Chain A
Amino acid sequence: MSPAADGTTSAVREYGRTDQLVLRLSDTLVRWACRRLPEEDHADRLREWTAELYAILDDPGLRSATRTCRALLYAADQRRAVRALPIRPGRQAVRIGNLINADAIINVIVVIIGGFVGIVVGVVVGVGIGVVVGGFVGGFVDGGGIGFVVGVVGVVVVSFAGVGFVVGVVISVRANQSRRGRS
Chain B
Amino acid sequence: MTDTTERVLRVLLEDPTAPWYGYELMKAAKVQSGTLYPMLARLAEDGLVESEWEPEGERPGGRPPRKFYTLTGVGVATVRQELAEHDAARHAGTPARVGRGTGALRPARGGSR
**Which residues of chain A have a CB within 8 Å of any CB of chain B?**
1-4, 6, 8-10, 12, 45, 47-52, 54-56, 58-59, 73-74, 77-81, 84-86
Please tell me if the beta carbons of A12 and B63 are within 8 angstroms of each other in the complex.
yes
Of A8, A78, A79, A81, the most chain B CB neighbours within 10 A belong to A81
Please tell me if the beta carbons of A12 and B60 are within 8 angstroms of each other in the complex.
yes
Please tell me if the beta carbons of B67 and A48 are within 8 angstroms of each other in the complex.
yes
Q: How far is the CA of A84 from the CA of B60 in the complex (A)?
A: 33
Interface size class of B (residues with CB under 8 A): 20 to 34
Beta-carbon nearest neighbor of B69 in chain A: A3
Please tell me if the beta carbons of A51 and B67 are within 8 angstroms of each other in the complex.
yes
Please tell me if the beta carbons of B34 and A54 are within 8 angstroms of each other in the complex.
no
Given contacts A9-B58, A48-B66, A56-B23, contact A84 B38 (CB under 8 A): yes
Please tell me if the beta carbons of B23 and A4 are within 8 angstroms of each other in the complex.
no
**Which residues of chain B have a CB within 8 Å of any CB of chain A?**
15, 18-26, 28, 32-38, 41-42, 45, 54, 58-61, 63-68
Please tell me if the beta carbons of B23 and A74 are within 8 angstroms of each other in the complex.
yes
Please tell me if the beta carbons of B38 and A4 are within 8 angstroms of each other in the complex.
no
Please tell me if the beta carbons of A81 and B65 are within 8 angstroms of each other in the complex.
no
Please tell me if the beta carbons of B38 and A1 are within 8 angstroms of each other in the complex.
no
- Chain B proximity of A157: nearest CB distance (Å): 60
Q: How far is the CA of A81 from the CA of B101 in the complex (A)?
A: 13
Of A2, A48, A77, the most chain B CB neighbours within 10 A belong to A48
Which residues of chain B have C-beta atoms less than 8 A from A2's C-beta? 15, 18
Beta-carbon nearest neighbor of A48 in chain B: B67
The answer, among B26, B61, B64, for a CB contact under 8 Å with A50, is B64
The answer, among B33, B58, B67, for a CB contact under 8 Å with A78, is B33
Which residues of chain A have C-beta atoms less than 8 A from B20's C-beta? 3
Instruction: Please give 5 more A-B residue pairs, beta carbons under 8 A apart, in addition to A1-B28, A12-B60.
Output: A51-B64, A80-B35, A81-B33, A85-B41, A86-B41
- Would you mind naming 20 contact pairs between A and B with Cβ atoms under 8 Å apart? A3-B68, A4-B18, A4-B68, A8-B24, A9-B21, A9-B58, A9-B59, A10-B60, A47-B64, A47-B67, A48-B67, A51-B64, A51-B65, A51-B67, A55-B21, A55-B23, A55-B66, A78-B34, A78-B37, A79-B34
